[in-house]
Amino acid sequence: MRDRLIGTWKLVSAVREDMAGHRVDQLGPSPTGYINYAPDGRMMALIARGARTKPAGAQPTPPEADALFKSMLSYAGTYTIDGDEVTHHVDVSWNESWTGTKQTRVFRFDGERLQLATKPSPDPVDGVMSVRRMVWEKVT
């Protein structure tokens, strides 16, 4: 399993399903991002909402910067695999509250695609109990 996980993956979709079964595109209809699992046990992820608004000028205003911050996430660290779970041990993050945490995802493969899903838990954005699923397509 580890060998199949190694490489770079491009984000295809990000869906949140609450406990009542309501599904929503968590990052809009066309999210973008990459996740990389290296052979040395390190990983990096950069994920952004689709159709983000560019700042009007070279430097974003405080409201523009806030909107940009809230429409993306990134982190890096090491990873471990236990059965069908991969745990990201976060060393550095866009949101300092994630630094030092463990982010565990259930993973499965579907052809050249990888699905990473949380277990039912509160969404870090609004606290709604849900499962968040991201589908990734193999790049390299």
Give 61's pLDDT tier (boundaries 50, 70, 90).
very high
Give 11's pLDDT tier (boundaries 50, 70, 90).
very high
Does residue 64 contact residue 56 with C-beta atoms inside 8 Å? Answer: yes
pLDDT of residue 125 exceeding 80: no
What are the tens digits of pLDDT across the range 63-92? 999 999 999 999 999 999 999 999 999 999
Which pTM value belongs to this model? 0.91
Going along the chain from its start, the domains and CATH numbers come out as 2-138 (2.40.128.280)
pLDDT computed for residue 123 by the predictor: 86
Does residue 32 contact residue 48 with C-beta atoms inside 8 Å? Answer: yes
pLDDT computed for residue 127 by the predictor: 86
pLDDT computed for residue 64 by the predictor: 96
Closest by alpha carbon to 93, among 40, 47, 39?
Answer: 47
Cα distance between residue 117 and residue 132, in whole Å:
6
Find the DSSP H helices in the chain.
2-5, 62-70
| Structure token digits, residue 82 | 């236990």
Strands 72-82 and 42-48: antiparallel
Average pLDDT, the chain: 95
pLDDT of residue 96 exceeding 90: yes
What are the tens digits of pLDDT across the range 23-58? 999 998 899 999 999 999 999 999 999 999 999 999
Percent helix, strand and coil across the chain, each to the nearest 5:
10, 55, 35
Q: Which residue has the tokens 């990389």?
A: 36
